Structure 1
């Protein structure tokens, strides 16, 4: 579902030097312009500051909106989620409050996996298929999938993120953190470079209960399942 790696920032000092005109002939006067590496560092700092400002503004806006929700999270079980009026999305295998659900992307995802025969399985040896109707009930821990299903899920969640941002909607706590996008990028890039990538791996798509409007939730990370995560 990765720790932050922020580059160390160093203080930039102007080191331009000018020769004294009283000691040297005018034709020998030399002005040292800022080096290309220094200019690149300045540009990097400006761009980084701009990106951080935009992200903080979006997060602040999301948290403000989420403060008006009756519930900002669906609990830890399917029954508890239903009692809170939550919706199960197969796109992310997540129980979500309605304000964080995206029916349009969910419908597109379901149509795509049906058209491309992407299956879900009850057992890790991929012998017993599960109907999409059962999957959509959101019961139990989850189901087994192949890598192509995993990649498809990743791409549709990236689309959902953009769609929700475009309409000023709330993001769920699974797709809000940058590390989820980095994870999906890594999967897609490696699969593109190696057709055999994770071809024989057994993969389990497990049920998650993210917050709405802020990062984190319950059961979001594979190494730390059945725990709460607050970023």
Structure 2
């Protein structure tokens, strides 16, 4: 277990550079589910193994890619593609796994990568999960993944103040009854 109760470990542990070659040289691991190179301290072996044993789809084009635009999973697993399209159902499976990874890191007091700990990413996943229009097209290749090199750290421990400010800001945009006057339909 990284860090123990009462100790505040270093905030920034590691970064994997900006290329697959640099990441490999630094001992980083590629997470197919996150489409990201992460340092060993932030790599969850069990969750990655669980994800990697599934048959996932990757394509060079979106919507309904022709067979010649499909990318073999073993090619995607190398971590060298700068982007790939995946179906909505795979995007939602990614969100579920990221939430699981987040919870495990917090419960076990482990560092996590800055993409997993990002509230903006969690909010995006939550919004996508309840987008019933998208849910009616689970096999549509509409999610564009981009290769990431997030920082591995304990920054998640220090997000409280930012979260309080965000909640206060969101609350002030609603009336006293809690009604949100902004429209999110179709987004």
| Equivalent residue number for residue 51 of structure 1 | none
Q: Distance in 2 between matches of 1:146 and 1:94?
A: 18
Max radius of gyration: which structure?
A: 1
Distance 1:126 1:84, change over 3 A: same
| Equivalent residue number for residue 176 of structure 2 | none
Q: Distance in 2 between matches of 1:160 and 1:105?
A: 7
Q: How many equivalent residue pairs? A: 148
Distance 1:197 1:126, change over 3 A: closer
Deviation at 1:79, TM superposition (A): 1.0
- Counterparts of residues 51-66 of structure 1 (less than 5 Å): 61=8, 64-66=9-11
Q: Distance in 2 between matches of 1:130 and 1:194?
A: 23
RMSD: 2.6
Match of 1:163 among 86, 104, 119: 104
1:196 aligns with 2:136: yes
| Equivalent residue number for residue 50 of structure 2 | 108
Q: Distance in 2 between matches of 1:152 and 1:162?
A: 16
| Equivalent residue number for residue 141 of structure 1 | 82
1:87 aligns with 2:23: no
Deviations 1:76-121 (A, max 9, x none): 111111111111001111100100111111111223x32xxx3111
| Equivalent residue number for residue 206 of structure 1 | 146
Superposed structure 1 runs of 4+ greater than 6 Å apart? none
Q: Distance in 1 between matches of 2:135 and 2:84?
A: 23
Match of 1:121 among 52, 56, 59: 59
Deviation at 1:202, TM superposition (A): 3.1
The one of the two structures with greater contact order (alpha-carbon pairs below 8 A, sep at least 6) is: 2
